[in-house]
Amino acid sequence: MADHWITQSKAAADAHELKRPVLKNCIKAFLVGGIICTIGQLVTLLLMLYFPFTEQTAGNPTVAIMVFFSMLLTGFGLYHKLGQFAGAGSAVPVTGFGNAVVSAAIEHRSEGLVLGVGGNIFKLAGSVIVFGVISAFIIALIKTVLFQLGVI
């Protein structure tokens, strides 16, 4: 699977750098990212129609279902191909997060369930969780303290 693009170093990215067709890449990212979000919207709509979710609460199960789709596409090696075409268009939606987790898990399966899968499952996606939590923690802390002091 060799899905190391997400951890590729800056040097590797620069070596890639002959002449990036920025506009073409952006159009591809826009189309693929837009289509993935439209599929997400369809999932949200179906959840609201057939399950007791509201517009506010349907976001979370939508994310879970998108990650499930991502598992299938990753398992059959299709997400990697999509990523080569779409760049950020397939990396930025949660399916890209799912792909990072699933591909790391599959790739390290041969090292065993505990050391391989368990130890490496967040190898690629870990930084997203870490920085999300740290930033949310700092902001929430500041807001809470300001709130209790009566500033806001």
Please give the residues from 118 up to 147 whose contact with other proteins meets the rule CB under 8 A.
121, 124-125, 127-133, 135-137, 139-141, 143-145, 147
Shortest distance in whole angstroms from residue 137 CB to other proteins? 6
CB 59 within 8 A of CB 86: no
CB of 120 to other proteins, least distance (A): 10
Residues between 38 and 97 that touch other proteins (CB under 8 A): 38-45, 55, 59-68, 70-71, 74-77, 80, 86-89, 91-97
Nearest Cα to 92, choosing from 23, 40, 135, 53? 40
**Judged by CB under 8 A, which of 13, 15, 84, 85 binds other proteins?**
13
Residue ranges in 6-87 assigned as alpha helix (H):
10-15, 22-50, 59-75, 78-86
Query: Within its chain, how far is the Cα of 107 from the centroid?
Result: 17
